[in-house]
Chains A and B, each alone.
Chain A
């Protein structure tokens, strides 16, 4: 149980640290932003508070120091400076290291922490400022006892309304209900003031209440409940338990409670205590108090005891954490469901029974909704990844002596969790590249008539069922000819090949290709961009590079929203089915025998006057049988080029649940997975990029 909480804390702390970093970096731009300062403070406060609760005393103690400084900032006693931000960012890293060290990986240096604390203390303007009684957080931590959050307290409230209360339109029940909304609440009504029937006025309120309330809210919040009736009632609010005495699960004796409430005098109590019967019974027998008063007091006793016994029940929140595997399992099941549903639809259409068809359609609608919902659960905003890069840009630009600003937009764009994770490495390489090769040194920039500070813009936006991620820099741009020369030098292209800009740019993604004159710490080993290409293609995504010499470069990644289920085009060759990702499909045209004859054995089709190369999938997969008289070409855009794939027959759109191929087939080029069709047969998912690459190299080999 406790491990689970600790795991949750680690996760939460990780998120908080990420938020902290973002806020700090933003704070660097707008140092006076009170909102940001509060955010920094809150993040640290929570890390500290929960840290102490789960036994991360070192984290709590260290964070406390940083928090103390930011408390001064928050109260306007200190201003945000670059030194402060540097130290705080380093402190953030230290907290992160402490966190990792506690998980058993890595080691945190205590000395680093001490140095950071000393540095932070030096920044505090006046020595008296530290000792100033600043509301809550300055006193040292008392180990795990302090929860960091406001502790729950238990209050005893006696609400004795005036008889005319109802005539003012107030309703005691709704007041008590409002108290219930503040926390755990126990109300006892007292009937002893109710007169006999002939004296009773129906419009008067004769009842009064004892209420025991356990809440994290303070007395003012309780008083607020009674704000409209404070002149119409007698109200007493006392704190009876602040849950501060640890280990003591007992509570006051019944007699003590009654005496405290003023319902019984100590004399009477001590007299009655001489006897041996249960106290409550005895008191009632003696007529010292009425039985409902005793019951109410007993209630209080029970309530507080109960509270003290089960203290550490975590409260439920609006969101819950679920292990990722469970979500994956859910998505897998939904995938199965989609497959079965396709079968159901097919069978219903074959049988042609109207009732059955309408049921099948209903199931189809629900399944689609279920699929969207299930996939949505795994969607996360890409922003957390973005903030990591902000930090990277900051550190790298300092290292390289460049002035670079990072702008981001679309941080709340949502993508499948697995996709976001796999995007990380490619983005690191692209951004490193932009910083190292793209943005020039300040002096060069000024000479080129540009502002000294370069900008890298990282953005995300939705485009249909994909997300476009753009990395735009205003640096030197890509020298088309230099790349061409280099590619020729490396033997990647023939010296006189006629290539479009797109094709030339695509060589920067080739393995072993590097333009950096010297290998720096940051890039130049010729592995980076190759990783990018493989990473993005692994995500079924595409890369487009656009650049203008002297103005800058834009790299656009088009990534499908999810990896589990895709919209695709189902095609048929002979008896085999294949699917092509619909996102890349541009159009379908016919290919007749005449067309083939007219092309003189070359795989080129004339599409509205443009020659479009095509790949005959029947040959490619060595499928036997006669080619039909009229074949179909599915034209797909592959890295900006239009490539046709010849098939026998286009079946139509298909919801494809992607199943990975077994280990044996994992490295087969041209196939990226498989899916199960409605009739139970298997269709292979084609990878247009790989197929094109394969055809090109085959062509080159032939030459």
Chain B
């Protein structure tokens, strides 16, 4: 069984691309449409990794990261945030909130897989 990865993004197309790429590489994917959706799913479901956008309605990526790290079930999972280059301040904020790593948008499928492999070990 492949490792389970959650992708949290309010953009359906990004979710689709991420999910497609991950599935092609043998991972299983669970999708979340915003921070709140992700957090509630993560409170009941153990995943191996979280890929999250930073700008999302309801609960943003920073809030989501803090929430996950404050929870118990998925406290130690690797969390990778998707940022744009202009969001250096956000990157630091996310790091402080407990993100493991980041991917700069736009990215190629290979880059995504490289980062996933890196943090999943």
Contacts and interface: CB of A to CB of B under 8 A. Distances in A.
Interface of A: 166-171, 173-175, 177-178, 203, 225, 227-228, 231
Contact of A171 (B99, B102, B121): B121
Nearest to B69: A167
Contact of A170 (B69, B75, B78, B102): B78
Contact of B119 (A166, A169, A203, A231): A169
Given A168-B98, A169-B78, A227-B101, 10 more contacts: A166-B76, A168-B99, A169-B98, A169-B119, A171-B78, A174-B118, A178-B118, A228-B102, A228-B118, A231-B95
Question: Most chain-B CB neighbours within 10 Å: which of A175, A203, A227, A228?
Answer: A228
A174 B121 contact: yes
Question: Most chain-B CB neighbours within 10 Å: which of A169, A171, A203, A225?
Answer: A169
A169 B76 contact: yes
Contacts of A167: 69, 75-76, 98
Interface residues of B, number: 16
A168 B100 contact: yes
Contact of B77 (A169, A177, A227): A169
B119 A228 contact: yes
Given A166-B76, A167-B76, A168-B95, A228 B121 contact: no
B79 interface: yes
Contacts of A225: 118
A167 B97 CA distance: 10
Contacts of A177: 121
Contacts of A231: 95
Contacts of B98: 167-169
Interface string B78-109: 11000000000000000100111110000000
B120 interface: yes
Contacts of B102: 228
B70 to A, nearest CB: 10
Contacts of A227: 101
Nearest to B102: A228
Contacts of A175: 121
B120 A170 contact: no
12 contacts: A167-B69, A168-B100, A169-B78, A169-B98, A174-B121, A175-B121, A178-B118, A178-B121, A225-B118, A228-B100, A228-B102, A228-B119
Contacts of B121: 171, 173-175, 177-178
Given A227-B101, A228-B100, A231-B95, A169 B120 contact: no
A228 B95 CA distance: 9
A244 B99 CA distance: 41
Contacts of B75: 167
Contacts of B119: 169-171, 174, 228
Contacts of A173: 121
A174 B119 CA distance: 7
Give the 3 A-B CB pairs with smallest separation, nearest first. Answer: A174-B121, A228-B101, A169-B100
Interface in B52-91: 69, 75-79
A228 B99 CA distance: 9
A177 B78 CA distance: 16
A670 B9 CA distance: 74
Nearest to B92: A231
A609 B89 CA distance: 88
Interface in B12-47: none
A649 B87 CA distance: 82
A196 B99 CA distance: 29
A554 B99 CA distance: 66
A226 to B, nearest CB: 10
Contacts of B95: 168, 231
A485 B107 CA distance: 71
Contacts of A168: 79, 95, 98-100
Contacts of A170: 78, 100-101, 119
Nearest to A170: B100
A695 B69 CA distance: 90
A174 B117 CA distance: 9
